[in-house]
Structure 1
Amino acid sequence: MSAYTVREWDKLAYGEAEGQIPAHHADRLAGLAARSAFAGRGGSGVLEHGRHALRARGVVGILAAGDASLEILPKIDVAPGETPAHQNAAIRKRLVHMLAVALDLKIDLGVITDLAWQRETLLEILIRIFCDKLIEALRKGMPRRYVGREEDLPTLRGQLDITRQFTRHAVNPSRLACRFDLLSEDTPLNRIMKAAVVRLLRLSRRSANQQRLRELAFVYADIADVPVPGLQWDKVIIDRTNQSWQDLFAMARLFLQDRYQTTTGGTGQGTAMLFEMNALFEEYVGRLIARALAGTGLTVSLQGGRLFCLSAQDSERGLFQTKPDILIRRGGTVTHVIDTKWKRISSRIDDPKQGVSQADVYQMMAYAQLYRAPRLTLLYPHHPGLGTDEVIHARHRITGHATILETASIDVANSKNMLDRIRQLLIGDDAMVDAIV
């Protein structure tokens, strides 16, 4: 399979040379992208299918159609002196880290070699992580649960189903309608794991991953085949007896459901596993902030406001519901509202407004009115053009209010001391601590 890589908002020109994509491959991949749930009304929300090049937009992940695949990586600034292969490897590692935080997964990225990060696509890396974790879990035994069974037997087992006995076997008392519990491996959780293995076996193009998946498919041979729409996600219970399967359950959800990505199948259509960076950045930052502020007396809510801007005069029904990305409370009082924006802002030297949109400011002003928080923050990804350190770049007082609106950035390319850096950004400023206490 021919594999191509492009970064978010960059172009991949048509052609046969290195760093280009043949037009027939581009047409097929663009057609698949246009069918994605992220494509939008115009069909170009994932890829712009131009006359001379494909241009990636604010969605990352993998598109595979026919004998070609396209990997879209986020625009994360990494070491500028490195080769493109080394840079892409670093970006893949950061993206997998963001997914792990957003999905609350425990993933040891150090077990994957630098060479693998360079040579393997995001999809193959995720498949490899899933296989390794599943193999390790299965070594301790496949989880089992008591499953209710109804069978007609010559001797009584469990309880007699009286209704079924006297309707089905009234003239044949040699058979007993039994109802009993059986300790079985054919559980909703194992059916989900099998469905994930079967799906990934169709997607993977790397021989080592295919070998692992074939071995896993053999292990799950006696588990019922259930189509993805028929899987019983709500019947899976993760408790102390199977806690080690929590990460695998979350990863299976990632491969089989549409939380961040959309997966399109069918003859000739191909497969897409995509992540909208706005949603991923929001979830990533929100979970990091919750971890960073643990034990400080502050509580963090993600998408937890939902107050209405307007109330209808003739009823109690609200209009124009708000959904702040992150609310920070002390006690029951909102002290800080944070909205994440996955886009690059400019330095104040280049632009006093830093490229912050008027719509974003209006949105934050609405939050100031509804939530009465003394501090509002628009949080962006950091990049070298903003300087070397993550800082609060600008603070403004909203006219007629004591509320402060600030712009700040966080460097997703740097994972060192991340929680300490976030804590410093949010409560390290003594003046702002006084404002929010």
Structure 2
Amino acid sequence: MPAYTVREWDKLAYGEAEGQIAAHHADRLAGLAARSAFAGRAGRSGSGGSGVLEHGRHALRARGVVGILAAGDASLEILPKIDVAPGATPDHQNAAIRKRLVHMLAVALDLKIDLGVVTDLAWQRETLLEILIRIFCEKLTETLRKGMPRRYVGREEDLPTLRGQLDVNRQFTRHPVNPSRLACRFDLLSEDTPLNRILKAAVLHLFRLSRRGANQKRLRELAFVYADIADVPVPALRWDEVVIDRTNRSWRELFAMARLFLHDRYQTTTGGTGEGTAMLFEMNALFEEYVGRLIARAVAGTGYAVSLQGGRLFCLRAQDSERGLFQTRPDILIRRGGAVVHVIDTKWKRISARIDDPKQGVSQADVYQMMAYAQLYRAPRLTLLYPHHPGLGASDDVHARHRITGHGAILETASIDVGNGAGMLDRIRRLVLADEAMAGAAG
């Protein structure tokens, strides 16, 4: 199965040479991308466009969505544009990007994933999908060794002897003249639970997607373990009936990973005969959730409280009805003592160094948005946070500070290096808990 890889916003030319994609594969993959939920939808937070792929005359061009497209006998892996390992070979760079993307997914979904279980060679040779499948299989196999989770489920059966309680109404309507059969109602400790049905559906779904022999073998073995669990179509799975408590806490992460594969807000899955499958993630949403959760971890125990998408104040009130108009949703609000002290909006796009552009490529709309936040939330500090790249300097930091005209608030632009996992929490903590007096010096 031909497997192609392209970076976010880069092009993949048509052709048969190395680093090119066969035109008929490009047509099928572009058609699948056009049927995804992200197709034709305006990107969030300045993603710079819409859709998944540009189906050009001479090349496919990836947009602000990453992940895997598989159609027919070909697959396309779209990786985020993260600066890693300068000077390394493309294979080594792609391996490092896959590792950082899996880390971002783990943080955003609150998963504990040991990236060390995947060898360096596997990070280079396997696609993002196969790596995620491998991690899921190993985690599921390890957890199953401790036993499959069970819970009591209600059963109604007609038995020769009483078990549980007698269902009087059913007894006299179904067996009024046959006392040898008793209408029983009882609880049975069963493995056929909503959680196990979801995990089985994930195993079967991944078996259809995987093209790696080792992963297919793992999934086949897991499918055998779940043979006695009912087959339920993905749309009919009862996610709302799954209860994660102290008795099955070890299954929480596997449940979250199953949701990642089958039903997650960052991705869309498109299936059907002859269509293929897509597992896609909008980088704006993923970057926002990743940063927000890191900030919550970084400030834990400091007296600050973090909320994601938690403001929702209105810009206007209708004069006749006091109905709110133009609701705001700041990405990240940081409070202290109940008052908002910092508003952060994440933007998955590149800004320029000040030597190239005094505005750094920050859009006017973004500035107006932050001015509205300053007024509505009365926050003294506001930050537009971007992914770091080498053009901004050696390290991530606050790059510019400006005082909002007619207001005491400071608006700053900053970046965080998602390609460098070393000391990430410390860097986030230093950014968020920076001395507010220093922030008062406008750039």
TM superposition score normalised by structure 1: 0.98
1:260·1:280 contact (CA, 8 Å) conserved in 2? Answer: yes
Quick check: 1:32 aligned with 2:23?
A: no
TM superposition score normalised by structure 2: 0.96
Aligned to 1:66: 72
Shift of 1:316: 3.2
| Alignment match of 1:88 (pick from 79, 94, 101) | 94
Quick check: 1:319 aligned with 2:322?
A: no
Q: The residue matched to 2:185 in structure 1 has which SS?
A: strand
Shift of 1:434: 8.7
1:302·1:326 contact (CA, 8 Å) conserved in 2? Answer: yes
Shift of 1:77: 0.3
Aligned to 1:381: 387
Shift of 1:4: 0.2
1:212-227 residue pairs with structure 2 within 5 A? 212-227=218-233
Paired residue type of 1:16? E
Paired residue type of 1:30? A
Shift of 1:81: 0.8
Aligned to 1:18: 18
Aligned to 2:403: 397
1:219-298 residue pairs with structure 2 within 5 A? 219-298=225-304
Q: The residue matched to 1:294 in structure 2 has which SS?
A: coil
Paired residue type of 1:219? V
Shift of 1:312: 1.2
Aligned to 1:51: 57
- Distance in 2 of aligned mates of 1:281 and 1:163: 57
> 4+ residue stretches of structure 1 with deviation over 3 A?
41-44, 432-435
Paired residue type of 2:212? R
- Distance in 2 of aligned mates of 1:13 and 1:320: 43
- Distance in 2 of aligned mates of 1:8 and 1:241: 42
Q: Deviations over 1:324-376 (max 9, x none)?
A: 00000002100000000000000000000000000100111111111000000
Quick check: 1:189 aligned with 2:188?
A: no
- Distance in 1 of aligned mates of 2:411 and 2:182: 74
Shift of 1:230: 1.0
1:427·1:433 contact (CA, 8 Å) conserved in 2? Answer: no
Aligned to 1:418: 424
Aligned to 2:174: 168
Paired residue type of 2:22? P
- Distance in 2 of aligned mates of 1:286 and 1:201: 33
- Distance in 1 of aligned mates of 2:168 and 2:367: 69
1:129-140 residue pairs with structure 2 within 5 A? 129-140=135-146
Aligned to 1:332: 338
Paired residue type of 2:206? L
Q: Deviations over 1:45-82 (max 9, x none)?
A: 10000000000000000000000000000000011211
Q: Judging changes above 3 Å, is the alpha-carbon distance between structure 1 residues 123 and 317 closer, same or farther for their aligned structure 2 residues?
A: same
Aligned to 1:180: 186
Quote the RMSD (CA, aligned, Å): 1.3
2:410·2:440 contact (CA, 8 Å) conserved in 1? Answer: no
Aligned to 1:117: 123
2:379·2:409 contact (CA, 8 Å) conserved in 1? Answer: yes
Shift of 1:433: 7.7
1:379·1:407 contact (CA, 8 Å) conserved in 2? Answer: yes
Q: The residue matched to 1:117 in structure 2 has which SS?
A: helix
- Distance in 1 of aligned mates of 2:432 and 2:264: 32
1:34·1:44 contact (CA, 8 Å) conserved in 2? Answer: no
- Distance in 1 of aligned mates of 2:168 and 2:152: 22
1:325·1:339 contact (CA, 8 Å) conserved in 2? Answer: yes
* Equivalent residue pairs, number: 435
Aligned to 2:45: none
Q: The residue matched to 2:426 in structure 1 has which SS?
A: helix
2:150·2:191 contact (CA, 8 Å) conserved in 1? Answer: yes
Shift of 1:44: 5.8
| Alignment match of 2:81 (pick from 75, 80, 84) | 75
1:137·1:244 contact (CA, 8 Å) conserved in 2? Answer: yes
1:297-312 residue pairs with structure 2 within 5 A? 297-312=303-318
Q: Judging changes above 3 Å, is the alpha-carbon distance between structure 1 residues 21 and 176 closer, same or farther for their aligned structure 2 residues?
A: same
Q: Is there any run of 5+ residues in structure 2 with no aligned partner, and where?
A: 43-48
Shift of 1:174: 1.8
- Distance in 1 of aligned mates of 2:174 and 2:201: 35
Shift of 1:258: 3.5
- Distance in 1 of aligned mates of 2:398 and 2:130: 38
Q: Is there any run of 5+ residues in structure 1 with no aligned partner, and where?
A: none
- Distance in 1 of aligned mates of 2:439 and 2:186: 61
Paired residue type of 1:223? I
1:277·1:342 contact (CA, 8 Å) conserved in 2? Answer: yes
- Distance in 1 of aligned mates of 2:259 and 2:193: 16
2:410·2:439 contact (CA, 8 Å) conserved in 1? Answer: no
Quick check: 1:357 aligned with 2:356?
A: no
Percent of matched pairs sharing the same residue? 88
- Distance in 1 of aligned mates of 2:8 and 2:196: 36
Shift of 1:430: 5.4
Shift of 1:173: 2.3
- Distance in 2 of aligned mates of 1:3 and 1:178: 56
